[in-house]
Structure 1
């Protein structure tokens, strides 16, 4: 390290320690024209130049002398010396002269060089002494200097700082100011050094280290170099520096707080000890409608009323600030403010926070909470809300009904854990293997950010879904959703689905269900068996096109399944049903039905109707044969009956003619034969007429001629017509009928025929000398006719067939017939919309009762 002398301007720089402080420069190890080694080289070059000039001068003089001598001697000299000899002699003489001249000059220069060397040694000794002195001065551990040459050269370091300051001792770590200085000090110092090196801007500043030590930093520029000096201050200077830093910090803090208070929207003010405003922010000025805060102070515009200010002055103390809500007028509107006023030495300060919106929100929140509480109270789902202390805050009526708590117990706001313990002691919670672990898990919702859901199967058979949600501000909400009905429905549904699946699988009908996308959802084995496809070909998800391809070889109607596909995948609003029949190549006859289902699904059903179709065909053929036979029978009966009636009429007529006296007298045997012929002809005519009537009824062409008749006249007429038959069989007739039976609307001829058939049948089976009874009575809308005889009765096995045609029971009767009487009675009564009942027991006689609607009520109802 070397030291160079300072110029007059450098000696005046305070950075160098006063007027006597020299500047520093590197010397050792360098050479040049400004150094002693450079002066020696210059001297040598000068001596070489003088020697060369002397040598050349001597050579030149020798040449001139030789030339002159040659000119004077003329031709003789030329003859004596040749040209080469002249040149060589000239050179020798010149060299001798130069050597003489150089020797003289070197003797003189040697003396000069010895004097100069002595002077330089003396100056070097003085410089080394001064360097040692300056190095000793700089080696003080209370300061350190960093020197930067011009440009981007590396800095040089001189001196050291005390270890307690926290400054690194290594040069390469010293310039990393951010590692051992406070952040604000390091950034400010780096900026100042940058300005010093670039713009030669000097600076003086105080910085703080991370160890709370104070350093004074000075930056100067001298001789094209930048000097930065770090000085560890003594106690007094350190205190002054600390006070300066603290003052700057407080000033910045005050300015920061003033800027912050000016930026907020809440009015802020400061008063002196007399209560006069000394500072307000912009919000205060705007609230009192002042153009600037200074104008508000100057005019003394108050934000609060006098009563409020007196209240604040009386209540606020240094230990107890005033804090209350005060209303005042701002911009013409009454506004509520939350005012805080603090008494400080020398005055007071306060702030007003607008809480009008908060009050409105609070009131709205109260109304909302009340509305929510009322809504929750009317819910059928039990709800309980616990606060941050896990105590019951709210419950609805469904919660009370679910657990059966008493209101006094709930009004005590029990703890959540206490509530669970009471439910367990009352036997309302399911028993757990570890109650403590289960309860801790249930109550962990208060520390969990997620909603917890659990299923509780209660001892009473109920199933609850318990949903516990923690509140962000503390507490939790418990919702108890009763899933008993849902679980039962799910169980029933699953059971129903299984039963339906088993039922469908065991049906003899083929069933296939398709979705709206035309893909099969399910099918049963009967469907696959009818169409001869495998389970793989009809697995769920198979499209109907694939089903159509698999089924197409079985029938000869290619449009069948194609039509199914169109119905399944169309977008019509109404999905119609479809029915029809397939006849497969295998001989099977299938009845199909397309039935729309909910959720846009469609069901196809296929029923094997092969046996039914064959039986139906057989029945149809048999029915057609029977119909033809019946037609032949009816034609035969009508033809024969009409053909028989004509000769019978002739026979009866001629028989009656033979009985007349005008023809002639007959002997006794002839008369007897005529009577037999007349009786047989009458019986045969009756049979033919009965057969015609039944044929007419069976053909559905018989029509009744309704008319109104008196019941008494009807009974008298019947008695007169049956009198001969009664007399012939020796039987009496007793008619029992109340007076005033009134009239009946019916076919008079058919009604007489009904009664005569009943009386004839009873006369045939009544014992001789007995009496048969004809009873007649009426109700509100019906007339009843009852015929009773005291004959042998009808056995039970024959009683079931008495109304069958041609079912004659001649046992016990006086005369056998064709067995059409009771059958005709039943047919005529049925035509009158009545009914016939028979009561008979062997040995006790027989009673036949007919109910005929009177027709009066019917006509009156029709008139209405």
Structure 2
């Protein structure tokens, strides 16, 4: 039994050792061979205390068995010896493993004291530990930061009580990093403390290096994405491994990953094969020219400069869009060709020489100017050879020292600026020669034939002299001011009119000085201000006209007219005689206007003065006619009727005169009201019925029943109709008819009166609406000529118009058109209705 217990104890020790190093526990039954132990860097270190305890127990048991039953247990003794050797080797290896790094192993077996193995100096920052310091390892608060010490104490307590494993990273008070791992193994509690300061430092450095590399790659990727040109990277197999955003847009892919996964190529197969052939030549990357290829980019055909370079692990490429460059280059070439064609059409002779003084271009005008052979010019002769050829053909002017003159001409190749010169040819032509240095070296000659221009300039100067002499002989004062406001020309009449001496005019005085000198004779300020503004004003230059009154009574009509190039022409005309006539006419007109005003005042006053006695005459005549004061005989009754008719006619004339006076004064106002048109016409007829009966005339009314009403002055409309019908009665003969017609349109009311009288010729019809115009035309009609004038005035006050249609032998028709005006209340209702309709829409 003792042996069995010893065997079981030995087996338990071995199992504890196996659990400490993290290996699976082998069977330790009697007679079983102990396995050999191996340790890796990933296994936990074996607790030294457990190993030593197991070995001591095992050695004691073996010794007892050997003493008591040596002969019986010989074979077991050998086996145990072998196992002992194996455990000794495992012990040595465990110690080596513990010493390989700074760590501490603490084990608890039940309620026994903790066994501490390993480098206890871990808790003392490398200092030599004092006696009993191994026990002080568990005083975590003495060497760990308070928070970590409290946490690990709680975790160890939970491990020992409930077997709860844990793993934590602790910080010592000196700043080192400690890894703590606790677990329960085969009934024991194991706590491992290992310093990881150096590991963490290396990991942190590696992490920082990795982050720097990652940020660099991210920045590089962002930079490549920001490039507007497509960029790509291929792996060793030639497939796409990465593309930028421009590449994705160029191949019209949805995402970067989709373009890579689907292998969407920007270049077609022939283009990629061409790149592969270029790469096969194995030229250095800096010496490889970019391949100009055509490709479809974002749905359009573009020209690309493609560069693809081999790198370790693949290839990288970029495509630069040079379509615009190609277009610009083609445009430049076309522009150059156009310039050549343009220069060839210029009348100015042009010749270009390179830095070697050889002819590289000439236009047709150059060949025609010197009459040179095309073959000679195509041979690109030297500039000096051309000069010698022209001298031999006697096309250049003769010089005493031609060689010196030729060297002077060719010296322009060394000049930095244009060199103009004048050549006088033997045939009488004059050339202006401009030698312009070219940026790349050489010269460009411009031969401008100025013979005609010089001839025209001479003719112009002669013409200017003739014009100046002509202006100088004029009797009217004339002066010309330049754009700077200074006097450029003044004829003798101008100097004589303003008493200016010749020396002051030759000095080209400013307009201010000229005005100050002239103001002595014409002191009015306003005309001179206008003249000064016309000469030097900054606003739009327009011609002005004003009058200058001189102190001697002379009146000058001044005109300022702008000339080209900012000049101004001042002309003066003596209008004293016409001004005097104009003044006389003005005074006469004023006198006539005053006389007309006095006439109107007199007529108005007399009309009012006549109305009162006329009213009395009419009143007393009515009393006599009514026979209220006594009976009248037939002759008296006839005289009374004549007095009534004459008084009524006189009252109408007076009323017409007063109405015209009120209209002229602007004091007559219309009293508008809504009147029935038919009733108004019938009311006007009541006053004319007696005259119609006396004259044996018939009346025809052409008025529709639905003529309606209008908003007018009813009294004035009746007066209009009465005057028109009275006029028609006066010019009609017995047995004829008078027609009164009324028509209404959408915007007008037309009232017309037509008679069948003799009519009027056009020269009389043109004046029938004038005041005091009366024509009998062979009839008995007499009047003062106010009827139709009153009609026109009243119709025009209503905003209407009057028209006359009359021909000799065809009668006369007078039509009055009244615009239909709505009353204020009706207009307000109409506006409200329109606003309602607009809101509804």
Q: Same fold (TM over 0.5)?
A: no
TM-score, structure 2 length as denominator?
Answer: 0.44
* TM-score (norm: length of structure 1): 0.43
